[in-house]
Amino acid sequence: MSKTLNRRDFIKTSSATAVGVATIASGITLTTFAANANENPVTNAKRWGMLIDTNKLTEVEIDGMVSACQQENGWGGEVHSTGDQKPTWVKKLKVKDKATGRITSLPLMCQHCEEPPCVDVCPTNASMKREDGIVLVDKHLCIGCRYCMMACPYDARSFVHEDLTDQREHMPRGKGTVESCTLCVHRVDKGETPACAASVNSDAVIFGDLYDATSKINQTLKKVQSTQIRADLNLNTGVRYSGI
Amino acid sequence: MNIRYEETQGRSLGFYALIAGLGVFILAALGAVYYMEHHGHYVTGMSNRIVWGIPHVFALFLIVAASGALNVASIASVFNKKMYKPLSRLSGLVALALLAGGLMVLVLDLGRPDRLIIAMTEYNFKSIFAWNIILYNGFFVIVAVYLWMMFERRMNKFTSKAGLAAFSWRLILTTGTGSIFGFLVARQAYDAVIMAPMFIIMSFAFGLAFFILILMASYKWTERPLGDAVVNRLGSLLGVFVAVVMYFVAVKHLGNLYLAENAGVENFILFDGGIYTQLFWLGQIVLGGLIPMALIYHPALKDNRSTLGLASILVLIGGVIQLYIIIVGGQAYPMEMFPGKEILEGYGGIAAYTPSLPEIMLGVGGIAVALIAVTFLVKILPFLPESLADKVADSHQQA
């Protein structure tokens, strides 16, 4: 004879299970959040930025920055995408002054604006700016509309055109969503510098907290002349350049 | 004299042939979507420089035309021109059908169309796209209510109020669509508030052209009388709208030429942009503007339905071309990143774009969806007056 489950038993068992699951699940969640919050509180007391001195930076070093980023974040191995379809989180640009003919090379990536146009136009809040100024895409909210790519003045964003393999554990990416430089947020949160900055051995690229008066980037910016790309747009970029 | 509305029979061979023909285009579009989503967008002509390609051209074309198609009803209920009243129901239907077609294309061209629910639940109110999602959904509701007021005799007295609401909503909607481009400060081709009113007048022209074609085709195929009075009135209105579109285009380009910052992109579109320059002058201006106006206003062609039909088709083709130049041409020209400097390597140059077959099939599928919706719904509900002969229209006008 098969055992039948009466209503009382069913309610008893299922509520006990539910309470159990809820207890364990909430415990896990709380612990996870607590760990993060204690170690790395993200607040607007910091503003991460980067100063790139194009006079000191060689072309080889810029190529090295691009490779370091590819290595760290796992982009660039796409097999089907061609030319402009390939993701580019950072690229080497060569510009020539129209009057003097002076040629400058520079790395160009997401400029981590204080007023990011990509965040303004994003319909689903997938494009967002952290309190500490790092501009990111939430890959779970991105619907792939590409409006942020239309809005970005720096051509800094890429759309993933194909299925991806061999992704980095700390940097999930996805076909059909938009991505860009994260300022190596996973490293910054551990107290490290972004991979591109770490790849340069001189002080041609300085990473740090723009607000911290004792930081090297803050002190250097006080001394040297620097500029923001498309400063006329008033976006107040986190990435600054000197020498262009 | 009361207007009598009647469903179409929809039992003829022609009806089934039309449904089958449109169905083929819709199936092709769905197949194309499956292909593009399965492989990823690398199989399309788009890239990180041209992020919105031909599907967006068709999607925005249909969305813009949708709000314009409602104008015929608005003229009747907001501006009280009785001659247009018998056309109001069809006007509302065409508007809804075109919007449905356009939105289908827009959604299916997303990188992740499966996440549509996120677009409906997560709103960033600073985003013009998010506003548009609300505006499009609202348009469906408001026009549906408007149609109900027209259909239900007890509710007829509210028609003009609903009509006013729908008219206001459609003006805001097209302002929103135009502003998708108007507020892009980084791009020299777009950053101009004139985009919003220009899109409104474009919607007048494209929507009316669709309406005229659908009206003439449905009366011809169902062998119902359609008088010259109505058709000619719509024809001259179309001519006026086409002329105003050309005026706005002229103002936009002249204004842009005046600013040194935008001279580059203007020269590109108007003079040395290769395919885009040819499309602008031959496609948009001559084919989509001057020839339709000549067909409508030339005394020798007056009251000629074939030429009005041709003019309407040319307005639509010119409209697609115009949006192609705005959307694709505007992206093809590089952004001005370093004023006073020339970019030698890494960015710049004219971005290449060749529409792929699946993208075109998706875009055309949107038109097919709109047309099949109209074809079915006029069979199910009494949208079309059984006669629009001159004496019906005239007597109604005097009533």
Q: What is the pLDDT of residue B392?
A: 74
- Inter-chain touch B51–A98, beta carbons under 8 Å: no
Residue type at position A241: Y
Q: Which of 74-113 (B) contact A at CB < 8 A? A: 110-113
- Mutation target vs A (from B34, B38, B42; most A CBs, 10 A cutoff): B42
The residues with which A107 forms a beta bridge, in sequence order, are A92
| Contacts with A85 from chain B: Cβ below 8 Å | 41-42, 46-48
Across the interface, which of A108, A124, A158 has its CB nearest the CB of B48?
Answer: A158
- pLDDT 10s digits, B189-212: 998 889 999 999 999 999 999 999
SS3 B333: coil
SS3 A117: helix
Q: Is the pLDDT of residue A33 over 80?
A: no
Q: Which fold, A48-242?
A: Alpha-Beta Plaits (3.30.70)
Q: What is the pLDDT of residue A27?
A: 42
Q: Which residue has the higher pLDDT, B320 or A21?
A: B320
Q: What is the pLDDT of residue A18?
A: 57
For A18-49, b where at least 16 C-beta lie within 10 A, e where not — what string? eeeeeeeeeeeeeeeeeeeeeeeebeeebbbb
Closest CA to B377 of B104, B13, B159, B90: B90
Distance CA(A149)–CA(A180), nearest Å, equals: 10
Q: Which of 50-79 (B) contact A at CB < 8 A? A: 50-52
| Contacts with B187 from chain A: Cβ below 8 Å | 150
The residues with which A91 forms a beta bridge, in sequence order, are A108
Across the interface, which of B41, B122, B123 has its CB nearest the CB of A159?
Answer: B41
Q: How confident is the model at residue A9 (pLDDT cuts 50, 70, 90)?
A: low
- Inter-chain touch A244–B112, beta carbons under 8 Å: no
Distance CA(A116)–CA(A110), nearest Å, equals: 10
- Inter-chain touch A120–B41, beta carbons under 8 Å: no
- Inter-chain touch B47–A83, beta carbons under 8 Å: yes
Q: State the number of CA atoms in the 13 A half-sphere of B256 facing the CB.
A: 26
Mean pLDDT of the A44-71 span: 97
- Inter-chain touch B111–A93, beta carbons under 8 Å: no
Q: Checking phi first, is residue B388 left (phi over 0); if not, alpha (psi -120 to 50) or beta? A: alpha
Q: Checking phi first, is residue A83 left (phi over 0); if not, alpha (psi -120 to 50) or beta? A: left
User: Residue B351 contacts by C-beta under 8 Å, 6 or more apart in sequence?
Assistant: A84, B47, B49, B50, B331, B332, B334
The residues with which A129 forms a beta bridge, in sequence order, are A135
For the question of an ipTM over 0.85, the answer is yes
Distance CA(B326)–CA(B186), nearest Å, equals: 15
- Burial class (CB within 10 angstroms; exposed 0-12, middle 13-18, buried 19+) of B299: exposed
- pLDDT 10s digits, A171-230: 999 999 999 999 999 999 999 999 999 999 999 999 999 999 999 999 999 999 999 999
Residues B333, B338, B340, B344, CA torsion sign? negative
For B99-135, b where at least 16 C-beta lie within 10 A, e where not — what string? bbbbbbbbebbbbbbebeebbeebbbeebbbbbbbeb
- pLDDT 10s digits, A93-152: 999 999 999 999 999 999 999 999 999 999 999 999 999 999 999 999 999 999 999 999
How much of chain A exceeds pLDDT 70, in percent? 84
Closest CA to B193 of B269, B255, B124, B130: B255
Nearest-neighbour CA in chain B from A199: distance (Å): 20
Q: How confident is the model at residue A23 (pLDDT cuts 50, 70, 90)?
A: very low
Q: Domains in chain B, please, with CATH?
A: 5-228+365-398 (1.20.1630)
Q: Is the pLDDT of residue A31 over 50?
A: no
Q: Where are the domains of chain A?
A: 1-39, 48-242
- Inter-chain touch B180–A147, beta carbons under 8 Å: yes
Size of the A and B interface in Cβ pairs below 8 Å: 170
Distances (CA, A) of B109 to B25, B284, B389: 16, 25, 43
Q: What is the pLDDT of residue B185?
A: 86
Per-residue pLDDT of chain B (399 residues; tens, 9 = 90+): 578 999 999 899 999 999 999 999 999 999 999 999 999 999 999 999 999 999 999 999 999 999 999 999 999 999 989 889 999 999 999 999 999 999 999 999 999 999 999 999 999 999 999 999 999 999 999 999 999 999 999 999 999 999 999 999 999 999 999 999 988 888 989 988 899 999 999 999 999 999 999 999 999 999 999 999 999 999 999 999 999 999 999 999 998 898 888 899 999 999 999 999 999 999 999 999 999 999 999 999 888 999 999 999 999 999 999 999 999 999 999 999 999 999 999 999 999 999 999 999 999 999 999 999 999 999 999 999 999 998 776 655 554
Distances (CA, A) of B349 to B265, B267, B271, B345, B346: 12, 14, 16, 9, 10
Q: What is the pLDDT of residue B303?
A: 81
In degrees and rounded to multiples of 5, residue B195 shows phi and psi of: -55, -40
Q: What is the pLDDT of residue B121?
A: 93
Q: In degrees, to the nearest 5, what angle opens at C-alpha A68 toward C-alphas A65 and A69?
A: 90
- H/E stretch holding B287: none
